[in-house]
Amino acid sequence: MEKQKVLVAGASGYLGRHVVREFASRGYIVRALVRTTENLETEGPNMEPPVREFITEIFIGDATDRKSLEGACKGVDLVFSCMGLTKPQPGVTSEQVDHLGNRALLEDALLNGVKKFIYISVFNSQKMMDVDMVKTHEFFVNDLKASGIPYTVLRPTAYFSDMGMFFNMARSGHVFLFGDGSNRFNPIHGADLAHVCADSAEGIEREIDVGGPEIFTYDQTNIMAFEALGKQPSITHVPMWIGTAALFLTGIFNKPMASVMSFAISVSGFDNVAPARGSRRLADFYGDLAAKGG
């Protein structure tokens, strides 16, 4: 059988790098859509792999510049996009990247006869439609559904890369958590999620909610981080009303930061337990991060 070619948009990010490796290991030809090639060469901060060796073609483009995306899907069978705004970028909005950037990519996919488009949104998105970073994902999902192209939308819980942020706070000696730390969730390792993503290329499911194999409270994940570091847990629970007030003030001075904070506050406010997939354990991930030192 002829090899399928997949375009991975967001190939330089945490999930993107795991997905590149997963598709390549299954025999796909991988074209990576990135803004710069730097991150492809080295291991990421949360042990996401260097992936340059798994990539056959590189397409340079920026979601905020639709012209730069033209031709990205030429000759491609399948598009996978986890291209998204997850960190504050001055002057750049979620609408520009998550919604309009992915829509420009979808238009290019339609023009080039792509057979399927796989997209990453967020678990429990319907509970967070007041959050820019969430609703812009779902605006794109609406476009995707209306386009007529075969699609799969995956809605994952938190990635282990987010647990890496908690780990770094624990390393610095103290963790701040929004809420009382009692809400439950099941974070997933990038490699486990990448496996589900690549399976969906051949599957018929259109919408997939997915989380990791273990359920924790926010407090538990942070205590585990301190334990992996051999430190005494030190956690401050920031009441939600203080978080909301801080968000309001941040929004006046720093909109990109407020957008990220808004997601963090919202998602901590309720349980996020999605159907479990994968086998990689958080304690092992923390153990590996601790062994790396730094």
**Which residues of this protein are in contact with ligand NAP, per CB under 6 A?**
10-16, 35-36, 39, 62-64, 82-87, 97, 101, 120, 122, 156, 158-159, 161-162
Nearer to ligand NAP, 85 or 118 (CB): 85
Nearer to ligand NAP, 27 or 132 (CB): 132
User: Distances from the Cα of 196 to the Cαs of 45, 120, 208, 231, in angstroms?
Assistant: 23, 11, 9, 35
Nearer to ligand NAP, 101 or 243 (CB): 101
From the CB of 162, what's the least distance to ligand NAP, in Å?
4
Nearer to ligand NAP, 3 or 145 (CB): 145
From the CB of 20, what's the least distance to ligand NAP, in Å?
10
Nearer to ligand NAP, 66 or 231 (CB): 66
DSSP 159-211: BHHHHHHHHHHHHHT-EEEES-S--EE--B-HHHHHHHHHHHHH---SEEEEB
From the CB of 136, what's the least distance to ligand NAP, in Å?
9
From the CB of 15, what's the least distance to ligand NAP, in Å?
4
User: Distances from the Cα of 88 to the Cαs of 45, 93, 140, 192, 222, in angstroms?
Assistant: 17, 9, 20, 26, 24
**Exposed/middle/buried for 236, CB within 10 Å: 0-12, 13-18, 19+?**
exposed
Euclidean distance between CA atoms 267 and 233, whole angstroms: 23
From the CB of 251, what's the least distance to ligand NAP, in Å?
19
**Cβ neighbour number for residue 248 with a 10 Å cutoff:** 10
Question: In the chain, what is the greatest distance between 2 CA atoms, to the nearest angstrom?
Answer: 58
